[in-house]
Structure 1
């Protein structure tokens, strides 16, 4: 059993928050924006927002899975942006991205549904000229994080960072093209999967996301 696993996402979020305040203390109290990737990234992001005394909101990006292996992310899409694909993987498996159009449409629709449920009638947060930290519960292939970061970069933040409690070391370099900073607590050589680094990695519901957002609102 791995002794360095996090108890759950809350524990991972508290540890990550401590690491960020040590590495970037200038963000504390500077009206930063923390964006959690639903569902698993939101409870983690809540603790980061608490530590930075920052605004918390959601950033919805959906993975596009490999045909026949949906758990393997070969692309991602946000509610409003174009699909982003890992073209090396597409070439290796000889997949025409046009073949994935139906899944892209489904995942974009799901991203829109989640965004409407979590945000309701609230306007999206202001991004331009702010420091923005995008948070997830882990970084595996990185394609979903890249799509999310690319969408935020287009809104001209002053500084853009990605943070997660555990990251595959091989995926961190790819994010360097999209983010100014990448902060990870664990970078295990034997990464495997995100869930392997949590003792409790239960699937979260929309209600869990809403509870984390409500707790941040009360703060």
Structure 2
């Protein structure tokens, strides 16, 4: 997916940070390009805007290659591997750092224009850049925020290289990126308009952010999540009650399936499904909360473990969602429906991602698991040793992109404080990342 410009990237990135809209945070744009993205994020969050000024350290004879970065408050980040591979001597490195430190101080003075940096002590900081390649500048920006007293640091970027994000997760408390890519190449390729951001634009963004916040209704997205509506999903024998929640800008639908036999009462009021659904809505995804069994059917234990029955109903639900919405479909399944979700995904190449939460994925069977192509995340509580063994067995049979995430100190139902938050965030990150990968492949195929 290419962004029209940095403002468009900011508007698309902002909903992924919806959980911060009522928090005491300051949005910090990384000059130059990150400031334009950050101004849209700050506007969406209703948060103040400031700068996290950093200066890249570039290899002189290979300017596209950065070996580190400098930041305000004496922050210095250097990648020793790149220094070694580039052949930079200690004297050359020190000379470059002196020059870039002096330039950084000049820019701080010019951009801030007598403005005092906003206080970050006891507040959260949201670092925003327009892209991340090596990650050196982003890492320096995170360390700048720490040096200014931020209690929580969130890094948000529209597009980034995956291996850099992995390292940055050790520096920031949270990393948000709707479009992680294996190889970013030229950053400008991800934007239709990648014009340079001028000093005047940076100052203007800070000035605009100092004005009164927009009144309610002035083009700000609503804080309330989209409302779900009861629907009936047809199958060959029954019509399954479900709840479909679809915002106006939803880009995919996640079917949250269980086999508890509660009908509307089951998935609608299941704490795990509700919490995961809420986080998915804030990330711009639609949901279908669905129980694969009627209340009467669930009284027979055989039905709960009838993977063929559950698989057929889930397959019918995916087909119905595509007809009704025209959007791609992913699965998030619990209990025995986890096995059904993987069996259904093995027979459906259009499923974008699967997440199994405390479920029984091994019930799909070795043959079906070996055929699954959809990237699959298996989430298990660390204290649920029985299910942990079942999930590891399933993983051994799978050949697709898959991973087991073990939630510390959590049991089967994730009832421990904070455990459901972890489950919801893992689900969101896995599905949004896979959707972004699919968008990237589509874009590359169109070139």
The two structures have a TM-score, normalised by structure 2, of: 0.46
Of 95, 100, 105, the residue aligned with 1:107 is: 100
Instruction: Tell me if 1:158 matches 2:151.
Output: yes
Native 8 Å contact 1:79 1:109 kept in 2:
no
For structure 2, the residue ranges without an aligned partner over 5 or more in a row are 214-447
Larger Rg, first or second structure (1 or 2)? 2
1:113 offset after TM fit, Å? 1.6
Of 8, 20, 24, the residue aligned with 2:17 is: 20
Structure 1 CA distance for aligned equivalents of residues 75 and 53 of structure 2: 13
1:102 offset after TM fit, Å? 2.2
Deviations 1:175-198 (A, max 9, x none): 112100111121122421221100
Aligned to 1:131: 124
Aligned to 2:55: 62
Deviates more, 1:154-163 or 1:130-139: 154-163
The two structures have a TM-score, normalised by structure 1, of: 0.91
SS of alignment partner, residue 182 of structure 1: strand
Aligned to 2:24: 31
Equivalent residues in 2 for 1:81-92, closer than 5 Å: 81-92=74-85
Aligned to 2:5: 8
Native 8 Å contact 1:63 1:75 kept in 2:
yes
RMSD across aligned positions (CA):
1.5
For structure 1, the residue ranges without an aligned partner over 5 or more in a row are none
What is the aligned residue count? 212
Aligned to 1:78: 71
Deviations 1:93-130 (A, max 9, x none): 33334322222122112211221122222222111211
Aligned to 1:167: 160
Equivalent residues in 2 for 1:193-208, closer than 5 Å: 193-208=186-201
Residues 75, 125 of structure 1: CA spacing in aligned structure 2 closer, same or farther, 3 A cutoff?
A: same
Aligned to 1:211: 204
Residues 97, 54 of structure 1: CA spacing in aligned structure 2 closer, same or farther, 3 A cutoff?
A: farther
Structure 1 CA distance for aligned equivalents of residues 125 and 75 of structure 2: 21
Aligned to 2:173: 180
Runs of 4+ in 1 over 6 A off after TM superposition: none
